[in-house]
Amino acid sequence: MSTDHGPGPALRRNLVYLLKHAYLRMTEMTTNAVTPYGIEGRELGVLLVLAGREPASQQQAAQRLGIDRTTMVALLDALETKGLVSRHPHAEDRRRNVVSLTAAGDATLRQAIEANDDAEREFLARLSPAAAEQLRLSLQTIVTDPGAGRPAR
Amino acid sequence: MSTDHGPGPALRRNLVYLLKHAYLRMTEMTTNAVTPYGIEGRELGVLLVLAGREPASQQQAAQRLGIDRTTMVALLDALETKGLVSRHPHAEDRRRNVVSLTAAGDATLRQAIEANDDAEREFLARLSPAAAEQLRLSLQTIVTDPGAGRPAR
DNA sequence: TATTGTTATACTCTATAACTATA
DNA sequence: TATAGTTATAGAGTATAACAATA
């Protein structure tokens, strides 16, 4: 019994360790929350990007997610097979694909968002509402505005 | 120009997205910080675990890091080859390996910790000191004390 | 029988290089 | 020539299954 699990004092404050395990846990919870609606956790991210302003190309959608365009292909193949997304050539530049949500995709997204919100609430359950909001804002700051020493790319 | 990079409004508050990209960025910064001392980012984690209370087995060290024991084998092989770590059979249970830092491992760890602290400071640069500490504490709470609905495992 | 370390193997996620069709 | 999408392929990082030594 009590086989001494946790990180131990040396790791307990290490940011790589904390971020990695927080990420893994949130990912698992989102996956579980969203699987009943027929999509994977990563696919929710794609649907969310598409639901915003509709991207003018697959590549633009990939950039918003921070993944490679070749990764996006497989992701969209799966979503298209499920009938949640459709691709059409761009009117003015036929190299590009305009990707849009189908009606089914829109319905799935709505349900998945709710399920994901529940998962986020559970993930944050040990934090006060203020601390939870602060966590989100701090991560936002770090991720979207990395600060000096960071190439514009 | 202005090819419209960032996440877009739909993803900007999504915790999986934020945690993933925060994790990727911190990992990259730690890797860069620690490479000059001849170790990888993940290896710093191993050294930190070993420097705490010395684990009675490889398996215990693996549990503290949250990785599989088979993964730990390869990690320790590399560190042993570099002369930073040594394995000896446990006196009372010869199935187990007691893993300890060599003098070189200890010296490397000390330098790597400093470099990693610098990287963490840069990572947190856009946050106030209070917000930075709050972020660390909130992640700690979530990771080490996940709360209800979570099996003890 | 159960457990530790190990090996072989496979799976997931991701990126790089090369092809195609358009521009 | 250059770019968007695609395909084939390879590389991390990780885990599962099976084996040897020890308990």
Pair B19, A22: CB distance under 8 Å: yes
Q: Please, which pLDDT band fits residue A4 given cuts at 50, 70 and 90?
A: low
DSSP H helices, A5-128, are 15-34, 41-51, 58-65, 69-81, 103-123
Residue B47 has pLDDT above 80, yes or no: yes
Q: Would you tell me how many other CB atoms lie within 10 Å of the CB of residue A13?
A: 15
Is residue B4 included in any domain, yes or no?
no
Q: Does B35 fall in a domain? A: yes
Which amino acid would we find at residue B79?
L
How do residues A72-98 score in pLDDT, each as one tens digit? 999 999 999 999 999 999 999 999 999
The protein footprint on chain C, as nucleotides within 7 A of a CB, is 3-8, 13-17, 21-23
Dihedrals φ, ψ of B96, to 5°? -90, 150
Q: Which of B7, B123, B144 sits opposite A142 (nearest CB)?
A: B123
- Residue A151's pLDDT is 45
Q: What's the CA A55/C1' D2 distance, rounded, in angstroms?
A: 21
Gap from B63 CA to C4 C1', Å:
14
- Residue A153 inside a domain? The answer is no
Q: What share of chain A is helix, strand, coil (3-state, %, to 5)?
A: 60, 5, 35
Domain ranges, residue B73: 15-144
Q: Please tell me the total count of domains within chain B.
A: 1
Query: Is A77 domain-assigned?
Result: yes
User: What is the percent of chain A with per-residue pLDDT over 90, rounded to a whole number?
Assistant: 84
- Residue A49 · residue B6 · CB < 8 Å: no
The CATH number that applies at residue A106 is 1.10.10.10
Residue A44 falls within a domain, yes or no? Answer: yes
Asked which of A53-62, B13-22, B104-113 is least confident by mean pLDDT, the reply is A53-62
Of B57, B61, B37, B36, the residue nearest B48 (C-alpha):
B61
Alpha-carbon distance values, B124 to A26, A46, B91 (Å): 21, 28, 44
**What is the count of residue pairs from A and B with beta carbons less than 8 Å apart?**
193
CA separation (Å) from A98 to A56, A85, A94, B8, B101?
5, 10, 10, 17, 56
Q: Which of A145-149, B14-18, B147-151 has the lowest mean pLDDT?
A: B147-151
Identify whether A89 is part of a domain: yes
B131 domain residue, yes or no: yes
pLDDT at residue B60 is higher than 50: yes
The reply to whether the CB atom of residue B64 sits less than 7 A from any atom in nucleic acid chain C is no
Angle at A25 between CA A21 and CA A27, to 5 degrees: 115
Summary mean pLDDT of chain B:
92
| Nucleotide minimizing C1' to CA distance for residue A96 | D4
B-chain residue closest to A49, CA distance? B10
Residue A61 lies in a domain: yes
Q: How many CA atoms lie within 13 A of B126 on its CB side?
A: 15
**For position A79, what pLDDT does the model report?**
98
Per-residue pLDDT tens over the stretch A35-75: 999 999 999 999 999 998 878 899 999 999 999 999 999 99
Cβ-Cβ contacts under 8 Å, A21 against chain B: 66, 143
Cβ atoms within 10 A of the Cβ of B66, count? 16
